[in-house]
Every structure is written in structure tokens, then in C-alpha cells.
């Protein structure tokens, strides 16, 4: 989930770190940069270093996997002679056995990445770089995107297996990066690495090779990228900015689905009709969106299921009659990519809903719908979730008639207008250690999603659950003033569940569209199910945001998390 940069052009450290800053959502435990003359790395967020010109640079922003958050474990890493420097995104799963075979080398860190530097140091004693790269591909297990720089060499060397890597082609040189955001303000020309590819990059050009060929140069297509992904920050935090942007993002998606992406939706509808089973695969917030999608499709008479990506291959049968629909904000979620591997070989078709164009999952798909949420900077997803849910509900509406999406945006705007009341509730929750969110039917996925936001951003243990499951264990945890958000949409069963909690001293916070005596409510001005679900979700987002503000937490960059989950 780290962000990596490699620059082969006349540049300076300030420009390189500016590009790296655009990837900081991928990890912010530490950062580092190495150029022709500079080698700096520090714990924490990206900060300026002494500005100097250079013709070659690599840089890295880290989400820690192997080794604690220390300067020694920060990238770039080097070999014993400080001649080879490299940055790495991914995990070398057999690094310990590789390390055991490197006799006489001195290791300064706890990371799997440093082993790569010493591996190349050893191999380059007896072979050229191409042969050394072939040896590494044979020896290494796991996933990696690596950019390697050798002092005195005018080339950068890039290797890709599993983790994403792209090349931006500019007029005065070339830029390697984990994704196009890093260089999207500098060029629209991008080349995407395929699996098991190796490239030699210089200021003057590039050559790509496939590891299963005899290292013959490959022709690569340049893609014109259309989305810069630039964001101007106007608020205290990106999270609140992205919450406010949701009505506009939904309207943008609706227009796209009715025009530019209309044919894609019709093709996807036919794929569903021709399949015996439709199954979604997703992780985290996107999984909660698929729970809503499955609900709306089933309501429309279309049998559909969803499965957590990390367990997909353990629990789901796939054959030629299966349509798999992957849902991912980044389009690079490793668990989802792993779930999709080999599925076409079994005869399955793959579709997807993603937010990032040209992403790996999009390129693996027979049909891919862009959810048009725009770039999210905050690690916790807000507008991507609502647009995923809207996109899936729109798909369901193709089977049972239209849906008034204007009602959805109006309901969300109404929730945002109640922000001051939500702030006051947040003040009463900032010292709580546990919270529960209950819902039934289409509101069960909302309960799960609100609980996830509470955990991610406000660091409160939260559980989102079906109201009917309270009596199977959770009631034992209800004490005096335990806060429970009840998602009440006219269902008598959920009211009964809330009363069970209240009878045991719990505090009910109703999110409801009707009169209630359960507690002081957040009013959801919505009649239809989709409007209620998304308005309640936004209410949960705002509540979480303001709890975190009360606690003075790092809202956009919560501890231990990163936005693009590119490791298993």
C-alpha cells in the first residue's frame, strides 16, 4: 500500500516530493528520497528536504508491513556499498529464506525490502542487470513494484508483479509511480505495467520486457489519461469536503449512467441475464456497498450474492455460468485482484465498478463502470461508497423500472443541514469506548458501514449488526448509557430491538423518518429505501467526523491505515 516514485529527467527534490505527496494516501508512516546526490528519510509525513537539482531520483511513502515505524525501516533501502538504492511496494513473502542465503551482508533494517538490495548486490557481482532481474523474478515470492537506482548508471530499473506500477511519459523524461495521480498534472501519456514485466527507464526513453520471454523488448501502448485527479483543499479536512461533495458526485454519476456509460450498463444487464449466478466480490466499505446492491437486485427479481474478497476462493464456486462483479474504489485492492485471478480460465465473466480509471481491476474486466466520485484523499471512503451504492441501485433499476435519484440528493442535503445537531451529539460520545449500530433489511449494510467509519476515524470500538441478532450475545454487552444508533424506517421489529436495549439502560440514538420516543432523533427526510440508506450513511459519516474532531484525531490519515490496500 506504499507509494513509490522514480524520476528519470532533470528535476529537483522539491518536485519529486511534490509528486510523492500526491501518493501519501497510500501510506504515511515514513518517507524517503534518494537522488544523484541526496539521501534522506524520516519517520512521519512528507516534509521538505534540502532542495537540489538532480537527473535521477526515487522516493517512497510507507505503510509499514515488515518492521516497525523507524527511520532505519523507511525506504529507500541500500546495499552494503550504498551503491544500489531501491523503493518497493508489496511484500516479499519468502524474504527470510532469501536473506539466509545472503552470507556476509550487513542488514540495517527489519524489512523485507532491504533483502532485495543485497540480493542485487550479490547477483551483479557475476552477471548483468537483465540476468539479475531474471534471477530475482525466479527467486522472489509475493507481490512487488520495485524501482531500483544504481549510482553511476543513467537508467532506472522497474519490476512489477502484483503491485501496481505505471509510467508517465513527458517531453523531457519519464516518471514511474504507483498510480497516475503522481504525474497526472505533468502528462496525459501513461503506460501501464503488466504482470511480471521489467522495464529500463532513462531520460531518453524506455524498454519493456516480459519475464516469460527471452527478454525481447515489448511494444507498449501509450494511454491518454483523461482525469488529472487534482484536488484543491478548502476545508479543515478532506473528509468533510468529500462528505459535502456527495450530492454533486451522485448527480455526476447519474448523468454519466444515462449518457456516456449507458451502453456499458446495458451490456452488464445482458451479462446478468445470461448468467446463472451473479456474485459480487469486494472488501471493506466496498463490500458494504455490495450488500446494498445485492438487496436492490434481489428486490428487482435478480438473484445475486456477495462475498468478502479475501475469502472468495475459499467459499464460492465459479464456472462458465458465473458473472463476477468486482467493486473497488481504487481498482487496485489486492484481495479483490487475487479473487479474480484465474476466474476467466474457469469460463466466468468479470465486470466491475471502480473509481480510478485505468486501474488493474478495470483492465481485468469485460465491462467496467466508473462510479465518477472524483478523487478521494481521506483514507476513509465517503463519496465513493455512496456512488458505488447509487451505481448498483441504478443497475437494479434497469430490471424493475426507473428510480428518482433526485430524492437521494435531496435527502443527503437535508442531513447535511442538520450538522450542528450532529456536532452536539458527537460531544456526548467522544469519551465512549464502545458503540453499536443496528438495522434490518436494507439498513443492515448501513449499520456495518457506519460502524466501520466509527472505528476508522474516531477510534471507538463499534459493531454494526442486524437488529435481530442482538439477543444472540450482544445484549450481554449493553450497560448503562451504552450508545446504540438505531436505524428506524417504520419497521416495528427494529423498534422492538431498540426497546430491548433501552430496557437495559442503553442510550438509543435514532436515525429515523418517523416520530419516536426512543430518544432525540436525527431526522431522515426520506421515503424510498435508497434515499433513507444513503442519508443515514451520511449522518453516520458526519457523526464520526465530529467525534474525531472533538478528540483531536488525525482525521484524514488514521493510524495504521492506508487508502489503497495493495497487500493481502
Predicted confidence (pLDDT) per residue in 372-407, tens digit: 998 898 999 999 999 999 999 999 999 987 677 889
Among 241, 455, 557, 563, which one carries the catalytic annotation? 563
User: pTM score, two decimals?
Assistant: 0.83
- For residue 492, the model assigns a pLDDT of 80
CA distances from 343 to 19, 143, 326, 340 (A): 36, 19, 12, 5
- High-pLDDT (> 70) share of the chain, %: 97
Query: Of the listed 2, 41, 186, 241, which one is catalytic?
Result: 2
Residue range 451-509, pLDDT digits in tens:
999 999 999 999 999 999 988 999 989 999 999 999 998 778 899 999 999 999 999 99
Average pLDDT of the chain is 92
Q: Give the pLDDT of residue 227.
A: 58
Active site residue 2: yes
Q: 10 Å Cβ neighbour count for 43?
A: 15
- Cα separation, 310 vs 324, in Å, equals 15
pLDDT at 66: 82
The confidence band for 233, taking pLDDT boundaries of 50, 70 and 90, is: low
Top CATH class of 3-224 equals alpha beta
The helix/strand/coil state of 326 is strand
What is the CATH architecture of 231-403?
3-Layer(aba) Sandwich (3.40)
Is residue 230 predicted with pLDDT exceeding 70?
no
Domain range list for the chain: 3-224, 231-403, 416-568
Three cell numbers written together for 270: 445482458
DSSP secondary structure, 449-460, as one string: HHHHHHHHHH--
Rounded Cα–Cα distance for residues 151 and 37 (Å): 10
Each residue's pLDDT tens digit, 102-144:
999 999 999 999 999 999 999 999 999 999 999 999 999 998 9
Percentage of the chain modeled with pLDDT above 90: 79
CA distance 165 to 157: 12
User: 117 pairs with which residues across the strands?
Assistant: none
- pLDDT of 226 higher than 90: no
CA distance 327 to 336: 8
Report pLDDT for 565. Answer: 60
* Catalytic residue check, 563: yes
- pLDDT the model gives residue 115: 97
Q: Which CATH superfamily is domain 416-568 in?
A: Glucose-6-phosphate isomerase like protein; domain 1 (3.40.50.10490)
On the question of a common fold for 231-403 and 416-568, the answer reads yes
Amino acid at each position: 500500500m506504499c507509494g513509490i516514485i522514480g524520476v528519470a529527467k532533470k528535476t529537483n527534490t522539491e518536485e519529486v516530493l511534490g509528486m510523492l505527496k500526491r501518493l501519501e494516501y497510500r501510506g504515511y508512516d515514513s518517507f524517503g528520497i534518494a537522488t544523484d546526490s541526496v539521501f534522506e528519510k524520516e519517520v512521519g509525513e512528507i516534509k521538505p528536504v534540502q532542495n537540489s537539482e538532480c537527473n535521477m531520483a526515487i522516493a517512497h511513502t510507507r505503510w509499514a508491513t515488515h518492521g516497525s515505524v523507524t527511520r532505519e525501516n523507511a525506504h529507500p533501502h541500500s546495499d552494503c556499498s550504498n551503491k544500489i538504492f531501491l523503493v518497493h511496494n508489496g511484500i516479499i513473502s519468502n524474504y527470510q529464506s532469501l536473506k539466509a542465503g545472503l552470507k556476509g551482508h550487513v542488514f540495517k533494517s527489519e524489512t523485507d525490502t532491504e533483502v532485495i538490495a543485497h540480493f542485487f548486490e550479490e547477483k551483479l557481482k557475476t552477471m548483468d542487470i537483465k540476468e539479475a532481474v531474471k534471477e530475482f523474478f525466479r527467486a522472489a515470492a509475493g507481490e512487488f513494484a520495485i524501482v531500483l537506482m544504481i549510482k553511476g548508471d543513467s537508467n532506472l530499473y522497474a519490476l512489477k508483479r502484483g503491485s501496481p506500477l505505471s509510467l508517465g511519459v513527458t517531453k523531457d523524461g519519464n516518471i514511474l509511480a504507483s498510480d497516475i495521480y503522481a504525474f497526472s498534472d505533468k502528462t496525459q501519456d501513461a503506460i501501464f505495467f503488466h504482470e511480471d514485466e521489467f522495464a529500463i527507464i532513462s531520460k531518453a526513453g524506455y524498454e519493456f520486457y516480459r519475464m516469460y520471454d527471452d527478454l525481447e523488448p515489448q511494444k507498449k501502448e501509450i494511454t491518454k489519461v483523461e482525469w488529472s485527479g487534482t484536488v484543491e483543499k478548502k476545508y479543515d479536512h478532506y473528509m468533510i469536503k468529500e462528505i459535502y461533495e456527495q450530492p454533486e458526485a451522485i448527480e455526476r454519476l447519474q448523468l454519466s449512467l444515462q449518457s456516456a456509460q449507458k451502453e456499458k450498463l446495458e451490456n452488464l444487464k445482458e451479462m446478468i441475464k445470461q448468467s446463472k449466478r451473479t456474485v459480487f466480490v469486494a472488501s471493506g466499505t466496498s463490500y458494504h456497498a455490495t450488500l446494498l446492491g445485492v438487496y436492490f437486485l434481489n428486490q428487482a427479481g435478480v438473484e445475486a450474492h456477495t462475498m468478502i474478497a479475501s475469502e472468495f476462493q475459499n467459499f464460492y464456486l465459479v464456472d462458465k455460468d458465473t458473472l463476477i462483479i468486482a467493486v473497488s474504489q481504487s481498482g487496485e485492492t489486492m484481495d479483490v485482484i487475487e479473487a479474480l485471478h484465474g476466474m476467466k480460465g474457469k469460463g466466468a465473466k468479470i465486470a466491475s465498478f471502480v473509481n480510478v480509471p485505468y486501474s488493474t481491476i478495470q483492465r481485468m474486466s469485460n465491462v467496467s463502470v466508473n462510479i465518477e466520485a472524483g478523487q478521494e484523499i481521506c483514507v476513509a471512503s465517503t463519496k465513493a461508497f455512496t456512488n458505488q451504492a447509487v451505481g448498483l441501485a441504478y443497475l437494479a433499476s434497469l430490471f424493475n423500472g426507473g428510480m428518482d435519484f433526485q430524492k437521494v440528493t435531496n435527502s443527503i442535503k437535508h442531513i447535511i443541514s442538520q450538522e450542528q445537531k450532529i456536532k452536539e451529539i458527537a460531544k456526548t460520545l467522544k469519551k465512549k469506548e464502545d458503540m453499536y449500530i443496528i438495522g434490518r433489511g436494507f439498513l443492515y449494510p448501513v449499520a456495518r458501514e457506519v460502524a466501520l467509519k466509527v472505528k476508522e476515524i474516531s477510534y471507538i470500538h463499534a459493531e454494526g449488526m442486524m437488529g435481530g441478532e442482538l439477543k444472540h450475545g450482544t445484549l450481554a454487552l449493553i450497560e448503562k448509557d451504552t450508545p446504540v444508533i438505531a436505524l428506524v424506517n417504520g419497521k416495528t421489529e427494529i423498534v422492538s430491538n431498540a426497546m430491548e436495549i433501552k430496557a437495559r439502560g442503553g442510550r438509543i440514538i435514532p436515525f429515523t423518518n418517523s416520530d419516536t420516543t426512543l430518544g432525540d432523533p436525527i431526522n431522515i427526510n426520506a421515503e424510498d429505501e435508497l434515499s433513507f440508506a444513503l442519508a443515514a450513511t451520511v449522518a453516520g459519516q458526519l457523526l464520526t467526523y465530529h467525534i474525531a474532531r472533538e478528540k483531536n484525531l488525525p482525521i484524514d490519515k488514521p493510524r495504521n491505515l492506508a487508502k489503497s490496500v495493495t497487500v493481502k
